[in-house]
């Protein structure tokens, strides 16, 4: 299992009601794990029957599985919920093309082009399908080979998944400027993915991933709380527990730093450590561009 | 005076504290409150309850156990929270010049008495 | 999310983003569905609108009989999903909100941002007078069907 799928799985397990299923199912589909992708997409659809993204996702999975009728129904549902959804228009056009109806395919592609005139793939597909229409309907289903080549008409691909973030170089690291023990420091992005650092103990990386997954959206939630309560911008969150303390602080708009220490270190000192780690991470993030 | 009222009274006597509440964290609802006029109890309960639950999950994932004190620090003040028995949490909203150390001690002491 | 009138969109989108509600239905007390999020079938909207309007009418009558004035809202807590049903005044007349939410959020959060949405709707509503047809059973069904057709294109 890759890190991104593991992190997304952890996130979905922790927050079954979240929309993480969209990213997870798409990541599984892209890896060719179609049965797993189908199960995740099915679960998400059950929970969010009114979400056009979920129907669109299911259509892509079914299309990859070869269930073209099922894919058609799913794209039709996505369109019913969101008539401007170009991915669904392209998907249905692709299925009409495969079924030997280039005129219907062309009609859907033209609708997609009206919605997004800058979509180059739609223009290419229109060029390809128009030729078939002019030739009187020679279609993919009537040829022995599916269309290939640079102007071939292919099913729509989803946009790149938002996570995981760019690979993190091993050295220098975001906490290099922090003196002393750097374990127990984590840099986490807004999607709950661990960018760097690890927690203490043998299970450090896995625990770090679990904790990072819990922190998805925490920055937004903290900002919302301080804003609505008239407390301005948020700076830090400190948590004191029987077996240790942790402090969260922002390194950038999209990332937070977590510092965790055992309870022998006073909470105030953990806050100072978190501030230093955040400054160090900020410098590192700026250097990454 | 009930234990809850005593708890709220002790916390609100700390300099800089603008209000204290007992909330049901899972529902994000007010159980009891003692607030200055400009503090919205419904908003504090909802927002603090949500953050407390999320941070409790985070602390437990990190192997630190159930939190006993939380502090959200903003430009113009802070929210302090001390989970008590069951789902109850004692919450204080404090200004930027509050005595945080004293407020923390009072919250920890009072939260231990919540039933 | 779909709304019959454009000025409803921003307040409702903010509410959906902040509250993490799974399903939301806004309707007039005469059954016209103003906006919906999360419903995939018009039949579900029709049933929910009819039941919601009926429950609000019953509880408001109960409040009147018991001298309680008006109830602010009604929450049904479930194991997997809960439901908030609340009526509120707008410049376009009395509206009803029905919100279904799960354990990823809380009744406090939903209520907080529901109230915020109500304020925003009141501020955004065009001030021209709403039609004041009596709330008869036949009007209810006619208006409901008309709004469903507009929302679902059926």
The more confident residue out of C150 and A191 is A191
Using the Cβ of A30 and the Cβ atoms of chain C, whether some distance falls under 8 Å is answered with no
Closest CA to A24 of A200, A213, A206: A213
A137 shares its domain with A11: yes
In a domain, A235, yes or no: yes
* Cβ count near B10 (within 10 Å): 17
Q: Are residues A40 and A126 in the same domain?
A: yes
| Interface predicted TM-score (ipTM) of this complex, two decimals | 0.94
pLDDT of residue A245: 94
CA separation for the pair A187, A195 (Å, rounded): 5
C-beta atoms of C40 and A224 within 8 A: no
Residue A156 lies in a domain: no
Asked whether residue A167 is domain-assigned, the answer is: no
- Report how many domains make up chain A: 2
Reported as a single tens digit per residue, the pLDDT across A69-86 is 888 888 888 887 777 788
**Chain B residues near residue C105 by CB distance under 8 angstroms:** 50
* Full set of structural domains in chain B with CATH: 3-111 (3.30.450.30)
Rounded Cα distance, B72 and B55, in Å:
11
Full residue range of the structural domain in which residue A262 is found: 185-288
Taking only the tens place, the pLDDT of each residue in C89-144 is: 999 889 999 999 998 899 999 999 999 999 999 999 887 655 555 444 556 566 66
Looking at chain B, which residue has its C-alpha nearest residue A200? B62
**Is C111's CB within 8 Å of B42's CB?**
yes
Q: What pLDDT, on a 0 to 100 scale, did the predictor assign at position C137?
A: 52
Q: Which residue of C has its CA nearest to B40?
A: C112
Among B91, B93, B98, B96, smallest CA distance to B114 is for B91
C2-152: CATH superfamily = Dynein light chain 2a, cytoplasmic (3.30.450.30)
Residues in C touching A79 (Cβ below 8 Å): none
Q: Is A289 on the interface with B (CB under 8 A)?
A: no
Q: Which of A17, A80, A224 is nearest residue C103 as measured by Cβ atoms?
A: A17
C104/A47 CB distance under 8 A: no
pLDDT at residue B23 is higher than 60: yes
Round to whole Å and give the CA distance between A201 and B63: 10
The domain that holds A189 is classified in CATH as 3.30.450.30
Query: How far is residue B54's CA from residue A193's CA, in Å, rounded to a whole number?
Result: 16
Q: How far apart are CA A82 and CA A68, in angstroms?
A: 20
Among A21, A45, A50, the residue to mutate for chain C (most C Cβ within 10 A): A50
Q: Where are the domains of chain C?
A: 2-152
**Residue A210 sits in the same domain as residue A279:** yes
Of A73, A107, A142, the one marking the end of a domain is A142
Q: A131 is written with which tokens? A: 């030729």
Shortest CA distance from B30: residue in chain C: C108
What's A81's domain CATH number? 1.25.40.10
CB pairs under 8 A between A and B: 125
pLDDT at position C4 is 82
Nearest C-alpha neighbor of A284 from the set A262, A252, A259, A260: A252
Contact A190, A220 (CB under 8 A): yes
- Across all residues in chain C, what is the average pLDDT? 84
The verdict on residue A95 lying in a domain is: yes
Where is the domain boundary, A82, A110, A142? A142
Contacts of residue B68 in chain A, CB cutoff 8 Å?
240-242
**Which of B21, B47, B48, B50 should we substitute to test contact with C (largest number of C Cβ atoms within 10 Å)?**
B50
Nearest CB to C104; choose among A15, A77, A80 = A15
pLDDT of residue C32: 83
Tell me how far the alpha carbon of residue B51 is from its chain's centroid. 11
Q: What is the pLDDT of residues A234-287, one digit of tens each?
A: 999 999 999 999 999 999 988 999 999 998 888 888 999 999 999 999 988 888
pLDDT value of residue A232: 94
Q: Which chains touch A (3 or more CB pairs under 8 A)?
A: B, C
pLDDT of residue A141: 44
Residues A7 and A137 placed together within one structural domain of the fold:
yes
Confidence of residue C12 (pLDDT cuts 50, 70, 90): very high
Contacts of A238 in chain B (CB under 8 A): 69-71, 73
- List, in order, residues 6 or more apart from B5 with CB less than 8 Å away: B32, B34
Residue A274 lies in a domain: yes
């Amino acid at each position: 299992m890759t890190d991104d799928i593991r992190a997304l799985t952890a996130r979905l397990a922790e927050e079954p009601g979240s929309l993480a299923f969209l990213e997870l199912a798409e990541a599984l589909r892209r890896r060719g794990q179609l049965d797993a992708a189908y199960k995740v997409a099915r679960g998400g659809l059950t929970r969010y029957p009114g979400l056009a993204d979920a129907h669109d996702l299911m259509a892509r999975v079914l299309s990859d599985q070869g269930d073209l009728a099922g894919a058609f129904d799913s794209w039709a549902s996505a369109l019913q919920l969101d008539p401007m959804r170009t991915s669904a228009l392209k998907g249905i056009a692709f299925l009409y093309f495969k079924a030997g109806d280039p005129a219907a395919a062309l009609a859907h592609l033209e609708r997609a082009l009206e919605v997004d005139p800058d979509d180059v793939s739609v223009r290419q597909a229109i060029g390809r399908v128009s030729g078939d229409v002019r030739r009187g309907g020679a279609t993919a289903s009537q040829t022995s080979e599916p269309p290939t080549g640079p102007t071939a008409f292919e099913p729509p691909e989803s946009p790149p998944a938002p996570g995981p973030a760019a690979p993190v170089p091993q050295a220098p690291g975001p906490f290099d400027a922090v003196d002393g023990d750097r374990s127990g420091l984590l840099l986490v992005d807004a999607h709950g993915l661990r960018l760097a650092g690890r927690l203490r103990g043998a299970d450090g990386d896995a625990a770090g991933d679990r904790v990072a997954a819990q922190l998805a959206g925490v920055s937004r939630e903290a900002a919302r709380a301080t804003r609505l309560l008239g407390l301005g911008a948020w700076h830090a969150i400190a948590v004191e527990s029987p077996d240790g303390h942790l402090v969260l602080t922002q390194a950038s708009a999209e990332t937070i730093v977590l510092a965790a220490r055992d309870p022998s270190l006073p909470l105030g000192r953990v806050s100072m450590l978190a501030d230093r780690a955040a400054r160090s991470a900020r410098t590192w993030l700026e250097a990454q561009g | 005076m009930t234990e809850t009222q005593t708890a709220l009274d002790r916390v609100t006597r700390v300099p800089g504290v603008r209000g204290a509440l007992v909330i049901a964290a899972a529902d994000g609802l007010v159980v009891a409150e003692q607030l200055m006029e400009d503090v919205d109890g419904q908003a504090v309960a909802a927002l603090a309850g949500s953050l407390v639950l999320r941070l409790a999950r985070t602390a437990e994932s990190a192997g630190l156990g159930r939190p006993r004190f939380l502090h959200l620090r903003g430009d113009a003040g802070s929210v302090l929270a001390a989970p008590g028995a069951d789902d109850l949490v004692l919450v204080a909203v404090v200004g930027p010049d509050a005595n945080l150390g004293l407020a923390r001690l009072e919250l920890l002491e009072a939260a231990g008495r919540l039933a | 999310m779909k709304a019959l009138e454009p000025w409803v969109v921003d307040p409702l989108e903010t509410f959906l983003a902040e509250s993490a509600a799974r399903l939301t239905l806004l309707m007039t007390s005469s059954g016209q569905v103003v906006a919906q999020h999360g419903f995939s079938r018009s039949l579900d909207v029709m049933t929910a609108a009819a039941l919601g309007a009926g429950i609000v009418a019953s509880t408001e009558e109960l409040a009147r009989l018991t001298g309680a004035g008006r109830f602010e809202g009604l929450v049904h807590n479930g194991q997997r999903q809960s439901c908030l049903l609340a009526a509120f005044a707008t410049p376009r007349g009395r509206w009803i909100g029905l919100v279904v939410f799960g354990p990823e959020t809380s009744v406090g959060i939903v209520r907080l941002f529901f109230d915020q949405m109500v304020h925003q709707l009141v501020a955004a509503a065009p001030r021209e007078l709403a039609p004041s047809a009596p709330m008869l059973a036949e009007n209810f069904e006619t208006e409901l069907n008309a709004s469903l057709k507009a929302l679902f294109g059926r």
